[in-house]
Amino acid sequence: MRKVVCLIFVIMISCLNFSYVQAACSEEEIDALKKEAREIKITYEHLGVLEENGTEVYDKFLVVASNINDDFYIHLSPFATEDFVTEGETLKINLTTGTWHYLVYSSKCATQISDIEVNLPRFNIYSLDSLCEGIDGDDFSLCGKYYKYEVDYETFVERVTAYRTLNNIDNIEDSNDEENFLSDILNKVLDFISTYRIYILLSLGVILLIISIILITSKSRRRKVLK
């Protein structure tokens, strides 16, 4: 009886081991898989301003991995113990600013095929500040869309103000004040015309009538003189 129990136990262990062991690939097969993994293309798109739990967040990206072999699956690090299976040849995941590793595995081999590093930049919230209006972010990185360094607002104001002065960039507040002044005048003129349009039309009609009478009278006098 004891021998039968031991035999059953050995068979169970063997079956478990057999179910979890993947076939080993040759070096040639692994090289071929690595070549296919190099065809994987990863792009990302900043998702703009999002609201989470009543707070605005700016560090979210849609990351798209494409050209993925059907045999591959992805383990994302650092993220979770979960393996991501692709939809066709594409894998789409929302990730935050930072460094991520797409660890590529093949269902055929018990080994990692590739480690693709993806660096998602830090969004520069100062780029939305009115002080950056009129400044090329490629020329002055502190007003660029992405900026990796931590800068306090006081330092930001000092550096941007100095840059604006050095490059003779119009002051935003002065420019806005002038635009608002002109806009106010235009609105008042339009309001006046809208309120008194009947009187204005009558006045224009009278003026045109007077001008017409003067022209007709002038022509009549000239004809009499010529005769």
pLDDT band at 182 (very low <50, low <70, confident <90, very high): low
pLDDT band at 116 (very low <50, low <70, confident <90, very high): very high
pLDDT band at 4 (very low <50, low <70, confident <90, very high): very low
- Between helix 197-226 and helix 172-195 the angle, nearest 10°, is 70
- Ranges 21-35, 53-67, 128-142: which has the least confidence: 21-35
Cβ–Cβ under 8 Å, residues 73 and 83: yes
Average pLDDT estimate for 59-64: 92
Give the gyration radius of the chain's Cα atoms: 38
Cβ count within 10 A of residue 104: 23
pLDDT tens digits, residue range 138-166? 999 999 999 999 999 999 999 999 999 99
What pTM value is reported for the model?
A: 0.59
pLDDT band at 13 (very low <50, low <70, confident <90, very high): very low
Query: Would you state the pLDDT for residue 82?
Result: 56
Q: What are phi and psi for residue 97, nearest 5 degrees?
A: -50, 135
pLDDT tens digits, residue range 65-104? 999 988 888 888 886 555 565 666 888 888 999 999 999 9
Residue with the larger pLDDT of the pair 163 and 172: 163
